[in-house]
Amino acid sequence: MESTVDTITAVRATALSLESVSRRYGRRGGGREAIALDAVSCAVPAGSFTAVVGPSGSGKSTFLQCAAGLDRPTTGTVRVGGTDLGSLSEAALTRLRRDRIGFVFQSHALNLVPSLNIEENVVLPLVLAGADPADERVLARGRDLLARVGLAGRGGQGPATLSGGQQQRVAVARALVTEPDVIFADEPTASLDPESASLVLGLLRDAVRIDGRTVVMVTHDPVAASWADTVLTMDGGRLR
Q: Which residues form the interface with Mg ion (CB under 5 A)? A: 60-61
Choose among Mg ion, ligand ADP, none what residue 17 binds, the Cβ cut-off being 5 to 8 Å by kind: none
Answer for the pair 111, 167: CB distance below 8 angstroms, yes or no. yes
Q: Is 185 in the site for ligand ADP (CB under 6 A)?
A: no
User: How many contiguous H segments (helices) and E segments (strands) does the chain have?
Assistant: 9, 10
**Least distance between ligand ADP and beta carbon 214 (Å):** 21
**Dist. CA 134–CA 137, nearest whole Å:** 9
* Helix (H), strand (E) at residue 64: helix 60-67
**Least distance between ligand ADP and beta carbon 230 (Å):** 18
Three-state secondary-structure class, residue 232: strand
Answer for the pair 50, 73: CB distance below 8 angstroms, yes or no. no
**Dist. CA 47–CA 2, nearest whole Å:** 24
**Dist. CA 161–CA 206, nearest whole Å:** 26
Q: Is 106 in the site for ligand ADP (CB under 6 A)?
A: no
The smaller minimum CB distance to ligand ADP, of residues 54 and 73, is found at 54
The smaller minimum CB distance to Mg ion, of residues 52 and 172, is found at 52
Q: Is 190 in the site for ligand ADP (CB under 6 A)?
A: no
**Least distance between ligand ADP and beta carbon 208 (Å):** 23
**Least distance between ligand ADP and beta carbon 82 (Å):** 26
Answer for the pair 104, 175: CB distance below 8 angstroms, yes or no. yes
Choose among ligand ADP, Mg ion, none what residue 54 binds, the Cβ cut-off being 5 to 8 Å by kind: ligand ADP
Beta bridge partners of 25: 34
Beta bridge partners of 35: 24
Q: Is 168 in the site for ligand ADP (CB under 6 A)?
A: no
Tell me the site size for ligand ADP, rule CB under 6 A: 11
Q: Is 70 in the site for ligand ADP (CB under 6 A)?
A: no
Choose among ligand ADP, Mg ion, none what residue 34 binds, the Cβ cut-off being 5 to 8 Å by kind: ligand ADP
Q: Which residues bind ligand ADP (CB under 6 A)?
A: 25, 34, 36, 54, 56-62
